[in-house]
Amino acid sequence: MIVEEIMKKNVTTLFPEDTIAAAIKLMAENKIRHIPIVNKNHAVIGLVSDRDIKDAAPSVFHWDEHKGQLDNPVKSIMTTNVITGHPLDFVEEISAVFYEHNISCLPIINDRKLVGIVTETDLLHTLVELTGAHQPGSQIEVKVPNKAGMLCEIASVISMRKANIQSVLVYPDQKDERYKILVVRIQTMNPIAVIEDLKKAGHQVLWPNLPGVSS
């Protein structure tokens, strides 16, 4: 999946000369937490977050003394070293960018112009859709040797029960690098028969560990 498929294309923006008060108003009206700051060519030159606003807004205890601060331009508080992405980047790649740089949004640039934005909420929704967690089904975790062909073996066992596979995730076994964990979500609310078949085929099912099902 590429970024273009999940990014928001109707992006709320401000110019650097716009006021902090204007940014507060836009965030409240649009229920957003980030506003890219663009120039007249619609190129991103900065980013203002709700945290920047919070740091810049006067305390309620000193409102009368410092309320003029809200008339300052957003360029006085914006982040200028903005990390950006491209519409054709893979979602997995930008997820790694979010993780590595501890950011919560990513402006998307094409031909030096802002064309979209992706937030951590967008990534969360995408993860739910990719894993099928929002659909009725059952999750099975199987510990398998870290070698080629294991996914095919697991899928073959599942196919014998004509269970539809909704998603597959793979992650390393943290305790033993010789193994990996396959997380398979199948479209059935009763996975007992599939679990029994997997165990009879010699596979170690970690979850669900059902009482009465032979190991």
pLDDT digits (tens, 9 = 90+) for 128-182: 988 888 888 999 999 999 999 999 999 999 999 999 999 999 999 999 999 999 9
Q: Do 40 and 141 contact (CB within 8 A), yes or no?
A: no
**Mean pLDDT on 188-214:** 87
Q: Which long-range contacts (CB under 8 A, 24 or more apart) does 116-120 make?
A: 116/3, 116/4, 116/7, 116/8, 116/9, 116/11, 116/87, 117/7, 117/8, 117/11, 117/34, 117/36, 118/3, 118/6, 118/7, 118/8, 118/85, 118/94, 119/8, 119/33, 119/34
Name the pLDDT band for 211 (thresholds 50, 70, 90): low
Confidence check: pLDDT of 197 > 60: yes
* Distance, CA of 77 to CA of 128 (rounded, Å): 34
**Mean pLDDT on 39-44:** 97
Predicted local confidence at residue 70, as pLDDT: 85
Confidence check: pLDDT of 213 > 60: no
Predicted local confidence at residue 135, as pLDDT: 87
Q: Report residue 114: phi and psi, to 5°.
A: -70, 125
Confidence check: pLDDT of 44 > 90: yes
Is the whole-model pTM more than 0.75?
yes
Predicted local confidence at residue 60, as pLDDT: 44
Name the pLDDT band for 126 (thresholds 50, 70, 90): very high
**Mean pLDDT on 26-41:** 96
Per-residue pLDDT tens over the stretch 61-93: 444 555 678 889 999 999 999 999 999 999 999
Q: Do 37 and 52 contact (CB within 8 A), yes or no?
A: no
